[in-house]
Structure 1
């Protein structure tokens, strides 16, 4: 396995407020691993896919996202929805972020939004690049 495949990892976790629905997507040891409480699955990841994923993190300005997004930082009150966390490690860079019914704004990742746009783009990139057949709870 190449050094790149070993040095890039991510973990995406989502949980709905209503019920016990949660799921995790991980890139570890060159595989995308999915678990939703019912069906664990593993998909191999190529070096080209990992390169594209790292490019997407940079395009989405992931390394500049806030550590926490919360609806209390907006003018909205959202009582249903859910929680999410995403952490990634690329070589020596590490970042962990998350939110409760709130996401990084499409216009500025340092601003909080109740729209999933930028987060949705991250999830879509994971789905498209790694050909993940599972849906995010918070898809665009």
Structure 2
């Protein structure tokens, strides 16, 4: 049996439990996705057209770029503006919310670039210890 502790205040409910955790996880899944990070970084300096983004983001397929932009738009991070020209011109731009995310994304990208040699060295050492080629 546990002894009773009369003078110990009750702990507040954890913000990491239940519905809050799932909601935050869904946001982190979007903003932590590699393609979302690349799109946000490309849009930091202003609006871009779809094909500009596709050209600048090496390795992204047209379908993946479409899905990524749609997800970012759904989450309120990107706006899509269609201009009534022939053919129609579509620009993508960060919203205020997206611009707020741009700074942490840039910091993460900078950190990754600066630590890439250390990370590659750690991977090589790990693979050698694990018997991977």
What's the TM-score bracket when you normalise by the shorter of the two chains?
under 0.3
Bigger-Rg structure (1/2): 2
Higher relative contact order structure (alpha carbons within 8 Å, sequence separation ≥ 6): 1
Judging by fraction of residues, say which structure has more helix: 2
Normalising by the residue count of structure 2, what TM-score does the alignment of the two structures yield?
0.26
* Structure with higher strand content: 1
Task: Compute the TM-score of the two structures, normalised by the length of structure 1.
Answer: 0.25
